[in-house]
Structure 1
Amino acid sequence: MSRRIDRRVRDAAPIRDEDVRSLPLDSEGELLNAIVEESRDAPDGFEAEAAPARRRSTRTRRIGMTLAATAAVGVFALVGVQLTSDGDLQTGPDRVWASSVLKVADAVPRLTIDANGWTVTRADEFHVDDGEMTFESGDLRADLTWRAAATHADYVADRAHSADRLPTVEVAGAQADVFKYKGTGAYNDFTALWKSGRYSLELRMGGEQVTQEQFVAALRALRPVSVDQWLSAMPSSVVKPADRANEVKQMLAGLPLPDGFDAGKLTEGDGVNDRYQLGAQVSGAVACAWIDQWATARDDGDAAAERAAAEALASSRRWPILNEMNAEGDYPEVLWDHADAVNGNGKVMGGKGAPVEVAAAEGLGCDQL
């Protein structure tokens, strides 16, 4: 698909006060529950949890944006601003969004790059507190991240330590600190950070052909948009909560599962997921379960269970979801390194020779499961 988002976007509030007042009293509570989430305390540290590794690439995935419809986030033809019988919220004349998706979209900074054919090509798992999305235009790629405003000063200090400071740029009404990373040779790597309400935002763009002028132009072209426009801009790789259970079931197809494996936790959650990130969660959960069985069986002297786990992990190079993901990112390679370690000397070189069960805690996120 190559359709572009309607360029005539306007900074419109998704729900007006008069819309709320027009609702029946017994529906108002449902509405507030759908669109309001109380702020949680920001983490003490500023280091964000690492997302599954993904290659930076100039390969353009031209997944277009449209205001008419997008299957990724589920649009239904209804009229008027109202709550549906399922508790979902209608925000425009042509569509209704699931309340869990709306809650995220209503809270986070909704920005698009309104220039030169920029489109959203990736949206990682994101929630009210943090998230990331990628824009592309031809060979140009820009990654937009948002996180708690409490982390802003630490991130700016970190960038200032490893990059050269450039003149500030106004971005969507705020002044952004702009940097160019040092020691990148022919690869130009720019980043900018600014605050908006409860969030700290960062836009990063890099490449051998990327110029400071192009980066500044992209910054200045960032525009706030409405909930409808922002959700409609999501690429088809985005998995909405209503689709998550089915997507997880499909991803588990062809994967050997250990006895007692609980797929239920994988289907939970009300955030928005990029298919790559969801694939990493699913395949990682299976691999971690097998690694745990392997380590436990080895310690208990259960040769049969140890062998079964090793064979299951050896088959991971044939897991369909990993082969799908391998064209886009490095997470499959990381998982396969752990599988090779299980079937080798039990040490993961990427983990500096750490035992595979130790390396997997961070490398595969097993400590988060």
Structure 2
Amino acid sequence: MSTDEGVDRLVRVADPGGLGGLGDLGGVKQDLLEEIMSGSEPDRVVEVPRRRLRVRRFAGVVTAAAVLMSVVPAAVVLRGQAEGGGVSPIPTVDAGVVYAPLAMAAAERNPRLLIDRAGWKVTDLSGFAEEQGMIRFRRGGRELEMNWYSASVYAYRYSDRLADGPAKSVRVDGWPGELFQNLNGDFTVLLRPRDDVFVEMSTSGSWSRADLDRILADIVRVDVRTWLAALPAEMVMPVRERAVRVLVGVPLPPGFDGASLDGIGVSDSYQFGVGVASRVGCGWIAEWQRARASGDEAAVRRAADALRGSHGWRVLRDLDGAGDWAEVFWEYADEVAAGTVRAGYVQALGCR
């Protein structure tokens, strides 16, 4: 059975519209879950419109352009690096790893920069589209965030950075750019447009200019397969398999289509959780509106109960510990459960 078929079967077995085993995946037979989790069919590649997904320091924009086709287990060999006996985090990828052609094409168009120094890990990722995206690296109390944008907005970003003071020339793996430092001591590096995109790097935490110079010297541009392989395994897990885990204990609205999850794409756990919860919550609000308009009081109560019960969804509790989006979700969910709905929920929750 394919992964897609497994999720669709899961939705049917869960009896959408009832609140008993509706979204309780623990009530679904173990063999069904194993079928879903072991599926190897490719996820469909879907582009989604830009939208604000989280309300915290980084208002991430998620534009998923591609996902893994399949991954054959392969050993990853790390190159040694003389830094306290550590190793480089940049892998040499086994040829057995196979990616969807469109995933390869999307990665080909983005900058694919990695920090070739031991201890730096990718902690956040919001998609990787051909013109914009974000990847964040962390080591200890320091973070370096890389955002890439269309070259068309470079002049604006450069002019905006000049408010911090004059630019100083730097190079990153041969890529010329300018360095700025604001009054708070944080650094920003703007790499000049290349291949129709440019990169803006920004620091947070305690950085000196010497610290930054060392890291800039260790940033390298890698090939497509190496860049994809360097991402944490969870971020590149096929969407449907990942969603099965997130949906444990979450009631699904009537007619919920597993294909709606495909657009979430490659992202960190926060962005992914938001994407899944958004689709489920928006589905319940739409069901509440439909039921109320048709006078189906039983369906109105079911939808209200589902939204009221969202305070117990594990995915939202996890999100609440990392950002503010869950609080926004609960605000709108509670209003609907109480009998009112504001038009602003569409934008606030990212409904499509």
Q: Compute the displacement of 1:229 (Å).
A: 2.6
Q: For 1:159-198, what aligned pairs fall within 5 Å after superposition?
A: 159-160=161-162, 163-181=164-182, 188-194=185-191, 195-198=193-196
1:259 paired residue number: 254
Which residue identity does 2:200 align to in structure 1? E
Q: Tell whether 2:97 aligns with 1:96.
A: yes
Q: Compute the displacement of 1:166 (Å).
A: 4.2
Q: Tell whether 2:172 aligns with 1:142.
A: no
Q: Is the 8 A contact 2:126 2:267 kept in 1?
A: yes
Q: CA RMSD in A?
A: 3.3
Greater RCO (CA < 8 Å, at least 6 residues apart): 2
Residue from 203, 206, 215 that aligns with 1:205: 203
Residue from 219, 223, 231 that aligns with 2:220: 223
2:85 paired residue number: none
Which residue identity does 1:122 align to in structure 2? D
2:330 paired residue number: 336
Q: Compute the displacement of 1:345 (Å).
A: 7.8
Deviations 1:55-114 (Å, cap 9, x if unpaired)? 67xxxxxxxxxxxxxx99724459xxxxxxxxxxxx965432212432333332111112
1:325 paired residue number: 319
Q: Number of aligned pairs?
A: 278
Q: For 1:242-281, what aligned pairs fall within 5 Å after superposition?
A: 243-267=238-262, 271-281=265-275
1:310 paired residue number: 304
1:260 and 1:324 map into 2 onto residues whose CA distance is 26
Deviations 1:126-183 (Å, cap 9, x if unpaired)? 233322111111111111111222222223234445x44442322232332333445x
Which residue identity does 1:274 align to in structure 2? D
Q: Compute the displacement of 1:318 (Å).
A: 1.3
1:165 and 1:299 map into 2 onto residues whose CA distance is 60
Residue from 118, 122, 125 that aligns with 1:120: 122
2:293 and 2:162 map into 1 onto residues whose CA distance is 48
CA, structure 1 residues 307+148, in 2 after alignment: closer, same or farther (shift >3 Å)? same
Q: Is the 8 A contact 2:124 2:267 kept in 1?
A: no
Identity of aligned pairs, percent? 33
* TM-score where L is the length of structure 2: 0.67
Q: Compute the displacement of 1:116 (Å).
A: 5.7
Which residue identity does 2:343 align to in structure 1? V
1:278 and 1:320 map into 2 onto residues whose CA distance is 14
Which residue identity does 2:344 align to in structure 1? A
Q: Compute the displacement of 1:330 (Å).
A: 2.6
Q: Is the 8 A contact 1:72 1:236 kept in 2?
A: no
Which residue identity does 2:225 align to in structure 1? D
